[in-house]
Amino acid sequence: MTLAYACGKVILFGEHAVVYGRPAIAVPVTEVQAQAYIEPGPAGQGVVVVAPDLDRRVIVREAPPDEPLAHIVRGTLRAIGRGSDPDLTITITSTIPIARGLGSGTAVSTAIVRALARHLGHWFPSQAISDLVYQTEVLYHGTPSGIDNTVIAFEKPVYFVKGVTREIFWVGRPFRLAVADTGLASPTWEVVGDLRRRYQADPTRYEPLLDRVGEIALAARSAIVQGQEAELGRLMDENHALLQELGVSCPELDRLVAAARQGGALGAKLSGAGRGGHMIALVTEETQGRVDMLLRLAGAVRVLITEIR
């Protein structure tokens, strides 16, 4: 029997712009996790993936090519060099909210890869895990940037430019984020696709906004490395304003952002695709309690505090 985990993530800076070649920063959120538990199955059953939280049972050999859970199992077995269909039951559970920008699908895929490799006596470096998971990300999101699978596979802060660089970097001074859930689902592929259509119709309007989002991500990396919390908060506020201009925020997110700032957060912004999902606020030990309270009063269905190191 084998057990493996994968954490969630939040995008700090650069969401949406990263799809168009600008930099982004993402960090792991270890307070929420997906878990894959593998045990031997009855002879002849092959690989079966069970997701009790979703009331799903996937028989891998019978699943269509675009079924994500079966896809990641098949890809992992090929990478290991197992041509056979071992008799295994993989049970998936997760504390990561679905379709909220915390990387729930990516974490599930990552946990499956880690568990299968460990169970079958194989070892994958983090980059190989990331590459395997990316192939399944395409099924979930259509045109993923690649940042989710990178940060979850490496479990470190990542500076990312699609097709150019993915760099783990170090935090000059630990900082705290309040992560608040609007309670609204935010399908990444839908929001990304809508912005893509608007961008293609009027690129001259959107290019300067995307450029500035990328510039903010670059400046934020420097602020994180140097431990400049006040500057980091200011950049979060500016990034959120740009995401509003890009048309990916919503009243629920804007209300939570305003509440966090009222509570003393150094900065706040939506995180992920937008139009639902989560927002993040930069807090201190002194302000986190008040920010948490005001976020809940403003409608957050869940708030967690995570420290980035």
> Which of 168, 200, 223 delimits the end of a domain?
168
The per-residue pLDDT for 9 is 95
129 and 181 together in one domain: no
Q: In Å, what is the CA distance from 149 to each residue of 87, 111, 123?
A: 27, 11, 17
- Burial pattern 185-213, b for ≥16 Cβ within 10 A else e, equals ebbbeebbeebbeebeeeeeebeebbebb
The per-residue pLDDT for 141 is 67
18 and 79 together in one domain: yes
The per-residue pLDDT for 119 is 97
Residue 213: closest CA among 25, 29, 10:
25
> Which of 168, 192, 217 delimits the end of a domain?
168
The structural domain count of the chain equals 2
The per-residue pLDDT for 144 is 74
Token pair for residue 142?
């259509």
210 and 153 together in one domain: no
The per-residue pLDDT for 306 is 95
Query: Any idea how long the chain is?
Result: 309
Residues 6+ apart with CB under 8 A from 78: none
142 and 28 together in one domain: yes
pTM: 0.88
Residue 238 sits in a domain of what CATH number? 3.30.70.890
Which of 131, 148, 181, 292 is catalytic? The answer is: 148
230 and 277 together in one domain: yes
52 and 198 together in one domain: no
In angstroms, the first-to-last Cα distance of the chain is 32
205 and 153 together in one domain: no
Residue 40 sits in a domain of what CATH number? 3.30.230.10
186 and 266 together in one domain: yes
> Which of 130, 153, 168 delimits the end of a domain?
168
Query: Average pLDDT of each block of 10 consecutive residues along the chain (309 residues)?
Result: 96 94 95 96 96 94 93 96 90 90 92 97 96 87 79 94 90 97 88 95 98 98 97 98 98 98 98 94 97 98 95
The per-residue pLDDT for 82 is 87
**Is 148 a known active-site residue?**
yes
Domain containing residue 220: 175-308
The per-residue pLDDT for 253 is 98
Residue 195: closest CA among 246, 161, 243, 241:
246
The per-residue pLDDT for 136 is 87
